[in-house]
Structure 1
């Protein structure tokens, strides 16, 4: 499914040079009727060809990485909340997006390295879920956050 979402020729994957780029991608592996939890794979960044799919599993105390959240803008500075509205622009892009863009602009060709990171992550996640013990669900709390942190290290 990752390959399908990365297919530019079909038009499903639209790069940043397109007038309507793909903003992020998601693949869900739904596990109904088993002890195995469903696993959702998010890129969190535009253009799946340059992005890494990262696993997310719902838990009671799941941790979301602050590095894929739009920056918090104080109410007294937020163009959506002050008058006149939208008189100024602010950068709402998150850290992972900014680092990915910088790597691309600098001519960085780390896509193959990131694909290897993704392949390893898929294999490790599948192995973990294959013999999943529901009593150990809390071990998945940091899964997505840790994968975002790992990807960020490649952009430094």
Structure 2
């Protein structure tokens, strides 16, 4: 069994940085009276929607397994963690903008942006699994940014 020192250090440092970021962020939000009912409602909804996305990813991974593609447990858990945390973060950006903005984002654009993001992640993940090269995931960055831009911007006609 080979132990990867870099991966172990990266995981530990990532966890420490995440916990410190959460702690300092909540401390700053408490100081600015940001931990109110709206905050609780937004992050409760974000967790709920993130689980829906994760269930979709589980379905895709099971489908890949049925098609005969071998997946290691570490790869599956990494993909699920990435999908869950990533969708939690993206939805956590969209909901506060939509709930506290002067005008709500058009739901059709948000849905289309999320579909673009989910499709690019699924397609490039499948390509990287089939090709056995994780570098294909880097190609999903541009479509994900385009999907995020579509989801977070309103039509000029709607905002006037």
Do they superpose with TM above 0.5?
no
The structure richer in helix per residue is 2
The structure richer in strand per residue is 1
- Identify which of structures 1 and 2 has the higher relative contact order when contacts are C-alpha pairs closer than 8 Å and 6+ apart: 1
